Structure 1
Amino acid sequence: MSQTTNVYLVTGASGFLGQWIIKQMLKEEEIHEIRMMDKVINPELLKLKEECNSKMQLKTFEGDIRDKALLQKACCGVKTVIHTACIIDVIGAVEEEELEGVNVKGTQLLLEASIQENVKFFIYTSSVEVVGPNAQGDPIIDGDEDTVYKTNLKFPYSKTKHKGEQLVLKANGQQLKNNEKMVTCTLRPMYIFGENSKFILRYIDDAIKTGNILVRNSRPEALVNPVYVGNVAWAHVLLSKALQDPEKARRIGGKFYFISDDTPHMSYADLNYEVAKDLGFRIQPRLTLPLPLLYVIAFLLELVRDILKPFIRYTPYINRPLLTMLNTPFSFIYKKAKKDFDYSPCYSWEEARKRTSEWIASVLPQHREYVKCPSNTYKTLCK
């Protein structure tokens, strides 16, 4: 395949963000082919072929991100890789070895395949959690890429995402077999919300069980700036287009960018309320218990987990790093992304809130039926 052909590979294509990136890319006439890779390809993605323009092709690659042969095949003839595939886990439900294998080793193997196949551009979807909050709960208000912060990551997820990000940034300028040099860049989105968010689904499910009352798991003053999934996808598309310009590529290569939008600063709990309030949901005015007491409970649950570890796997519903994340003011601006590759949100807060609320309304009957029939599995419900 000609190296001048504009072919994209999107890993994690069936994921929350991956599907949005592909939908945004379908609107770009200069893209000739989109390759969608995931462990299991969502059947809905196959329907997108009908939305392609006549010149664009969609291909699927189904398998594990650690499969070297699959990666080599998927990267052959590709110009740009957008790597979103990862395991997200903030409660310790996934073994650290598996997190390391997918989030770090998978990224390394994809980079190696990209270098072997002369992939020119490599974009990595990182996370704000590679920064913090740290164990002390030190806040950041409207930070940026130059903000100095003492980071001591506690989540295995955060650690593995940070390792993956560093691998990608260090690969910038790597010599390719065709004597060109690879250009890499990473995006650090804030907490992503929107349609098909499994995290919002979980909160809605719990609220239905308690009479449509959302549990407050974060203090109102713990302000963060969530970002709508459509805007994060748009940032990926804009960055990939900017990389085509050699001058911009020189400026962008090897750097990371925070991605937020114009969603008002609010706590995680209040975000859930904002997108669900029109449907009759209410929210607790304060934390169920004082925060210091919640830390004590989390510590005891972690202790039980560690004692039981040699015998059974027990995953507490809360842990101290998660409490810190939920209750620390932590926000970043997107000024540098706007300056370097013209990023600005394409969805307003009101539109994002409305779209998310309408999606919740569409799945609400299923959730209420789930509460009546607890034998139904969550997996079945969310098909």
Structure 2
Amino acid sequence: MMPSQEGQVYAVTGGCGFLGSHLVRMLAERCREVAEIRVFDLHLDETLRTLSNVRLIQGDISSLQDVRDALAGSHVVIHTASLVDVWGRVPASKVTKVNVTGTENVLRVCEEEGIQYLVYTSSMEVVGPNIHGDPFYRGNEDTEYRVYHDQPYPLSKSKAEKMVLDANGRKIKGGKSLYTCSLRPTGIYGEGHELMRQFYRQGLRTGRRVFRAIPPSTEHGRVYVGNVAWMHVLAARQLQERPAHLGGQVYFCYDHSPYKSYEDFNMEFLSACGFRMISSRPLVPYFLLYLVALLNSLLQWLLHPFCTYAPILNPYTLAVASTTFTVQTDKAQRHFGYQPLFSWEESKRRTVSWVRSFEEAEKSR
């Protein structure tokens, strides 16, 4: 018998983060049947208190008791809490503690409290791009690919996702079964994306000029944050209605955003603020970029006892930026009726509007 979704309690871990806050707003606006939305995060976004049926809970995902206090009594958990760090800004142990131990805590509380439904926010980096530069061109969830991880973030996300999927079908309190699925966004963009803010500030320092470093033929899949949030909402609903069908499955997050290099894609928004791309081809040979990336890694290691040196460019981020990784799939549509809620035109308009707000902030200084 299909469970009634009226009067349910949804818990969103990491609900004040970039994706999490968009997801919470979408739940509040589009899921009137949900009686309470618990937003669990270490740092609270007080603006979310204005939303109906939202309850903010401050706590640490790596603390089992904090997770238990936040999740107990909920019906559905959407686990977005994650520490994203590919630059070495935080110790590897902390990345593992948040991403792996935090996920262990969520699974344990689901088991102990009889919470049947868990949607996990994974990452494309569970698959790749790998550091060997092997392209993933228009791949889907079943495409064979040489997965190779040697960095804390993709290692932790890969381990966490495996734990979540392995837990599908596990018996939990009350003799019920736990049902889980995992969503893998490609590069998320949209309002509130901190990396876009960094690119904007960096461009100001170079006179609104962006110097091409990666060939335009290198393509990446990008997906708008609103569509990723919408996919989570649909997956949470349908996991309850069709648990045997969605349980244990992974889904890439996708929409109609164009395939472009990271630099060219970012220019879709930055050009609205007068930024311009310098050159149609890379100005620096790849081997020089790689040497700079290696030098940055060496400096990071040497300076570690004294300060945190974590530039954007390192061997891993260079490999990701210079390796084609695009997805072409309709699995989410087939399994739970997903269609992008926002067109590319609307996604671009919203993101450009947000980027332009930086201009107003600069003028008011």
Normalising by structure 1, we get a TM-score of 0.90
- Cα distance, 1:281 vs structure 2: 1.3
Contact 2:126 2:158 in 1 (8 A): yes
Matched, 1:140 2:143: no
Match of 1:265 among 259, 267, 288: 259
Match of 2:178 among 176, 182, 188: 182
Map of 2:360 onto structure 1: 365
Where structure 1 has 5 or more consecutive residues not aligned to the other structure, the ranges are 371-383
Secondary structure of the residue aligned to 1:178 is helix
Contact 1:208 1:368 in 2 (8 A): no
Contact 1:3 1:77 in 2 (8 A): no
- Cα distance, 1:214 vs structure 2: 2.4
Matched, 1:289 2:292: no
CA spacing shift, 1:308–1:40, aligned 2, 3 Å? closer
Map of 1:32 onto structure 2: 35
How many residues in Structure 1 have an aligned counterpart in Structure 2? Answer: 360
Q: Distance in 2 between matches of 1:95 and 1:229?
A: 27
Q: Distance in 1 between matches of 2:273 and 2:308?
A: 37
Q: Distance in 1 between matches of 2:181 and 2:350?
A: 30
Contact 1:61 1:70 in 2 (8 A): no
Q: Could you say what the CA RMSD is over the residues aligned between the two structures, in angstroms?
A: 1.7
Matched, 1:70 2:73: no
Matched, 1:344 2:324: no
Q: Alpha-carbon deviations, 1:342-381, whole Å to 9, x = none?
A: 11101011111111001111122324667xxxxxxxxxxx
Map of 1:17 onto structure 2: 19
1:112-151 aligned at under 5 Å gives the runs 112-151=108-147
1:218-297 aligned at under 5 Å gives the runs 218-245=214-241, 248-285=242-279, 286-297=281-292
Contact 2:5 2:33 in 1 (8 A): no
Contact 1:205 1:367 in 2 (8 A): no
Contact 1:10 1:36 in 2 (8 A): yes
Contact 2:41 2:59 in 1 (8 A): yes
CA spacing shift, 1:137–1:80, aligned 2, 3 Å? same
Matched, 1:162 2:158: yes
Map of 1:43 onto structure 2: 46
- Cα distance, 1:79 vs structure 2: 0.8
Report the AA paired with residue 276 of structure 2. R
Map of 1:172 onto structure 2: 168
CA spacing shift, 1:4–1:170, aligned 2, 3 Å? farther
Matched, 1:304 2:299: yes
- Cα distance, 1:279 vs structure 2: 2.2
Report the AA paired with residue 33 of structure 1. E
- Cα distance, 1:317 vs structure 2: 3.7
Matched, 1:328 2:358: no
Secondary structure of the residue aligned to 1:174 is coil
- Cα distance, 1:217 vs structure 2: 4.1
Q: Alpha-carbon deviations, 1:89-129, whole Å to 9, x = none?
A: 11111100000000100110111011111111011100001
Q: Alpha-carbon deviations, 1:67-95, whole Å to 9, x = none?
A: 22221121121111001111111111110
Q: Distance in 1 between matches of 2:6 and 2:35?
A: 10
Q: Distance in 1 between matches of 2:341 and 2:266?
A: 22
Q: Distance in 2 between matches of 1:279 and 1:307?
A: 38
Contact 1:9 1:36 in 2 (8 A): yes
Contact 2:272 2:356 in 1 (8 A): no
CA spacing shift, 1:369–1:301, aligned 2, 3 Å? farther
Matched, 1:315 2:310: yes
Contact 1:121 1:184 in 2 (8 A): yes
**Further displaced range: 215-224 or 114-123:** 215-224
Q: Alpha-carbon deviations, 1:310-336, whole Å to 9, x = none?
A: 555433441111101001110012311
Secondary structure of the residue aligned to 1:264 is coil
Q: Distance in 2 between matches of 1:72 and 1:197?
A: 29
Map of 1:378 onto structure 2: none
Map of 2:91 onto structure 1: 95
Q: Distance in 2 between matches of 1:279 and 1:218?
A: 22
Q: Distance in 2 between matches of 1:208 and 1:94?
A: 27
Contact 1:220 1:270 in 2 (8 A): yes
Report the AA paired with residue 226 of structure 1. R
Contact 1:3 1:79 in 2 (8 A): no
Give aligned-pair identity as a percent. Answer: 38
Report the AA paired with residue 30 of structure 1. E
Contact 1:261 1:334 in 2 (8 A): no
Q: Distance in 1 between matches of 2:289 and 2:231?
A: 37
Report the AA paired with residue 44 of structure 1. T
Report the AA paired with residue 251 of structure 1. H
**Further displaced range: 5-14 or 143-152:** 5-14
CA spacing shift, 1:11–1:306, aligned 2, 3 Å? same
Where structure 2 has 5 or more consecutive residues not aligned to the other structure, the ranges are none
- Cα distance, 1:140 vs structure 2: 1.1
Secondary structure of the residue aligned to 1:21 is helix
